[in-house]
Each structure stands twice: as C-alpha cells, then as structure tokens.
Amino acid sequence: MVGVIFSTELEAGMIMERLERKENQSIQGKTFHTGILNNMAVTVCICGVGKANAAHGAALLIEGFKPDFVYNIGVGGAYPSSGLNIGDVVIAEKEIYGDEGLLSKDGFHPMSEILDIQNEFSTHIPEQLKNHKNKGTFVTVSTCTGTLDKGREIGKRFNAVCENMEGAAIAQICGLSGIQVTEIRGISNIIEDRTAAPLNKADILKAAENVQRFFLEDSK
C-alpha cells in the first residue's frame, strides 16, 4: 500500500476524483481516504499546513495504515536562483529544516550545529524519475519567505530550489519508521517581495494540477 500526504484538500482534488472504491475516515482531526488508484492500493492523508500537522498526519498514516512507501505531494515556492517557473514540477533530493536553530549576530546556525541534532533528511527518487530535469534541495520553514533578499539568502545558504511547510517533518517521521518518502511539488510562486495578500489562486491550482498529473503518470 502506498501512502500519499497532502497538506490541503485543494492540492489533492484530482487524486480524489480518480480514487476508486473510496472510503473516508477521520482520525484525531486528520482526514484519510483509502481506495484504488491506477490499480494500486492507496491511502491519502490530508494532514493540514505546517510541521506539527505534517508530523502528526504522517505518524497516524504509518501507525494506522502501514504504508510500504510514502509520497508527499503539494505546492511550494521557488527560490529566485532556482531557475524554476510557476507550474514546474520539482522533486526533492533532500529536505532541510530551514529555521530551526539559532539566529545570532554572525548569522543562522542550524540545530545540527548547536546541539548535534539532525537537521537534514534524505528523500527517495524512484528509478523512473531520476532523469527528471527539476530536482534539488527543499527547505521546510514555519514562516513563508516574503522578501526577495531573504529568498536569495536562504536559497544560497542551503543551495536549495524550493521551500514548503511540511516536507522535512514528513521525511523525519517516515525515516524513523524506515519508510522511504518521495516528495514532489508544483511551483505556485517565485519568492519575491510580497504583501500579506494570498497568492494567486490560479497559480496555486496550476501547480497543484501539474504535480498531481505528474504523480498519476508516475504511479501507472
């Protein structure tokens, strides 16, 4: 059985439409959809936004449904140096907690540096996806980056292409259980100077549809 984790229902709409023999249940506030997708048994978890929700959802998925493998699918913001465009699909080579650590006068120090706590987590790229052109390091943050200067700084610090709010937590929990996780995201925005206004919904939908379509082709 394959587990698939999304943070929101919006990002999972195409998968939900194609999931056959679907059964739904709620566990501790998280929604799980089980069924058949491309002749494969699948459990979809809608975990909610952020690291805590992601870790909680991944733990419930692993404990309650015993997946052999996990996909983390969704949208993310591209760092300015990535060369990515809105709607591009990108695969994580590894995940990093980007803002857990110490911010001092001489810069940011990750937890791995100040307390010898693991800050990076490996992700799995299936053989059939290894030639996909868009791959790189993903960064998981609690606060989305909303300035061009900060986007350039974080992208350079971690040599990263994409940021999100769940990936490292899911990779960490799956790793503790010995389960491989593949993370694939559609680019919903390029990090720039922005206000608190929501992102363009059409861009989010384009990114979400592109990454789901990519996943559906991969899982055939």
**pLDDT tens-digit map of 145-203:** 999 999 999 999 999 999 999 999 999 999 999 999 999 999 999 999 999 888 999 99
Query: Distance between terminal CA atoms of the chain?
Result: 14
pLDDT of residue 82: 97
Q: At what angle do helices 51-65 and 167-176 cross, to 10 degrees?
A: 30
Q: Per the structure, how many domains does the chain have?
A: 1
Structure tokens at 140: 């998981």
Q: Which CATH number do you get for residue 178?
A: 3.40.50.1580
Residues of the chain scoring pLDDT < 50: none
Burial class (CB in 10 A: 0-12, 13-18, 19+), 82: buried
Phi, psi of 30 (to 5 degrees): -100, 140
Judged by DSSP in three states, 149 sits in helix
In the beta sheet, which residues pair with residue 41? 36
pLDDT of residue 116: 87
Range of the domain at 60: 2-218
pLDDT of residue 219: 67
Judged by DSSP in three states, 142 sits in coil
Q: What is the pTM of this model?
A: 0.96
Query: What is the number of other CB atoms lying within 10 angstroms of the CB of residue 119?
Result: 20
